[in-house]
Structure 1
Amino acid sequence: MKDIHVISLGAGVQSTTMLLMACRGEFEPKPDLVIFSDTGWEPKNVYEHLEWLKDEVKKHGIEIAVTNNGNIKEDIVNSINDSKRFASLPFFVKNKDGSTSMVRRQCTNEYKIMPVRKAIRNHLGYVPKQRVKEMVHLWMGISTDEIQRVKESRERWITHRYPLIEKWMTRLDCMNWLQRNGYPVPPKSSCVGCPFHDNHMWLDMKRNDLESWNEAVEMDREIRRLPQFKNEIYLHRSCVPLDQVNFNENQIEMFEDCTGYCGV
């Protein structure tokens, strides 16, 4: 059985580090394929970083393939206007009894996982439902501080590999490696309106990326018109309109020089 090595690229700190380390021979073998699945709603600086990364890895004979399964922002807007199904984000729900809950997340599977699998199959020349004969080693950019995300593949023809965990690297180790080798530290890769953003991420967007902030505020307002939900839904865990959230800015400022999770 032939082994195929594929990097699933998110273009954030960890996956960028993993790819560049592979380019420099610090992870072997050299990957056969690198795939970035584009949700269509990343911040502009993530797309700028991706273009830089494409040029950088070309120097090492590696190409980054970009795939997608539609545009998540457009799909939400279309669902508001014509009630079409869309892969839901983990929106926060304000229930009628005053409690809060979260919508089941479908977006990662449909805009990230499934498009990568489809791109791998296309690369290997398979049509839908045809059995894959190769063993695909899918490299995931997960560091030790996210070890709870380590999972085995549910596909017989895919096995997951976690190179950063093999070297017991944290997110901070990745940042240090990038800086030590003269590479820029990437922005955090996630959808502009991802409900998983913490207060620091939202505040950083509000201060430093007004275009993305305005998009998120508008989307937060619009999702309450989604016909699929009986209760009010929000992007922020407080179940308050995003532009009215108190981010405790003075408290956050005390930690802006933190080199851990904050600000990366």
Structure 2
Amino acid sequence: MEKKKLHIVSLSGGKDSTAMLLRMLEKGWPVDLILFCDTGLEFDGMYHHIEKLEKYIGRPITRLKSEYSFEYLLLEHMPRRKNPELFGRKGYSWAGPRNRWCTAMLKQRIIDRYLRNLAKEYELVQYIGIAADEPQRIRNFRYPLVEWGMTEADCLAYCKERGFDWDGLYDIFHRVSCWCCPLQSYDELRKLRKHFPELWKKLRDWDSHTWRTFLKHYSVEQLEIRFAFEEERLAAGLPIKGRAFFDALRERLKEGDA
């Protein structure tokens, strides 16, 4: 017996997936289920956005969430270790480019488990909000934004025209995802420290209680020293690039370690 198709929109909550959902509904495309997986690490502005979006479209958004918190997995969980050097160490600690455990544990596994249950009864058609100017991420799903030729800039403008502003998050950051992601650029981290000091304080606290530094070359405490040093130099009209800057920064970091 042929299964009935179930059209599922994967909603991260960012500008691209939001624009995709809005335009699909405006065009009358079939949308049976809207999935938002909450990592627990979203900015408050993102949660406000999801609530506003739900009211705007007049239909429910299904929220999924792991039974484990990021903080527990980061600091307390005891996974099976293959590397003997890591035996006895608590928590996964910070993710890296080759080990994005947080994406796997807090999003992908949760979504995959939910979809596997649906797939027993339905033929799933998934819609992913990948913009036309990032096609390198395409896999075996449907990508309406690519079909429509909508770039990231197009998506943001499209959403703003409909009154969505994420409480100003996109006026600060280029990308709006988990606020504590160690794969962010230095520029995004500078903005986090400046605009969200309470989150920066939490980031620093987590980093002080785990065994891998937040970035390969910097702990959060060292980033704090670097960013403060940059501000001092800029105020004095000095550059924050080049050999002279990094020589001076190394000295400042040594002072911080003393």
* TM norm structure 1: 0.70
Deviation at 1:167, TM superposition (A): 0.9
- Residue in 2 that maps onto 1:256: none
- Residue in 2 that maps onto 1:171: 152
Residues 4, 136 of structure 1: 8 Å contact kept:
yes
Specify whether residues 181 and 39 from structure 1 end up closer, same or farther in structure 2 by C-alpha distance, changes over 3 A only: closer
For 1:236 and 1:210, how far apart are their aligned partners in 2? 19
In structure 2, the gaps of 5 or more residues are: 79-87, 170-174, 241-258
Which amino acid is the alignment partner of residue 65 of structure 2?
A: N
Which amino acid is the alignment partner of residue 182 of structure 1?
A: G
* TM norm structure 2: 0.72
Residues 37, 67 of structure 1: 8 Å contact kept:
yes
- Residue in 1 that maps onto 2:182: 195
Deviation by residue 1:11-67 (Cα, 9 ceiling, x = unmatched): 111111112222322xx5231101111111222222222222222222xxx210111
Deviation by residue 1:58-117 (Cα, 9 ceiling, x = unmatched): 2xxx2101111222223212238x85665x6533xxxxxxxxxx5522222222122123
Of the two, which has the highest radius of gyration? Answer: 2
- Residue in 1 that maps onto 2:247: none
Specify whether residues 205 and 85 from structure 1 end up closer, same or farther in structure 2 by C-alpha distance, changes over 3 A only: closer
For 1:19 and 1:138, how far apart are their aligned partners in 2? 12
Specify whether residues 215 and 33 from structure 1 end up closer, same or farther in structure 2 by C-alpha distance, changes over 3 A only: same
In structure 1, the gaps of 5 or more residues are: 92-101, 125-130, 153-159, 225-232, 253-264
Which amino acid is the alignment partner of residue 107 of structure 2?
A: K
Residues 37, 116 of structure 1: 8 Å contact kept:
yes
Which amino acid is the alignment partner of residue 6 of structure 1?
A: I
Matching residue within 76, 79, 88 for 1:78: 76
Structure with more helix by fraction: 2
Residues 140, 161 of structure 1: 8 Å contact kept:
yes
Which amino acid is the alignment partner of residue 236 of structure 1?
A: L
What is the RMSD of the two structures over their aligned residues, measured on CA atoms? 2.6
Residues 204, 220 of structure 2: 8 Å contact kept:
yes
Residues 223, 234 of structure 1: 8 Å contact kept:
yes
**Correspondence 1:120 to 2:120:** no
For 2:104 and 2:182, how far apart are their aligned partners in 1? 16
- Residue in 1 that maps onto 2:250: none
For 1:147 and 1:221, how far apart are their aligned partners in 2? 38
- Residue in 2 that maps onto 1:64: 61
- Residue in 2 that maps onto 1:12: 14
Residues 7, 31 of structure 1: 8 Å contact kept:
yes
- Residue in 2 that maps onto 1:132: 120
Residues 207, 220 of structure 2: 8 Å contact kept:
yes
For 2:122 and 2:77, how far apart are their aligned partners in 1? 38
Residues 35, 61 of structure 2: 8 Å contact kept:
yes
Residues 4, 135 of structure 1: 8 Å contact kept:
yes
Deviation at 1:211, TM superposition (A): 1.6
Residues 18, 164 of structure 1: 8 Å contact kept:
yes
Deviation by residue 1:185-226 (Cα, 9 ceiling, x = unmatched): 5734422221111112111111111121111122222222xx
For 1:112 and 1:146, how far apart are their aligned partners in 2? 21
Report percent identity of matched pairs: 27
Which amino acid is the alignment partner of residue 215 of structure 2?
A: H
Aligned length: 212
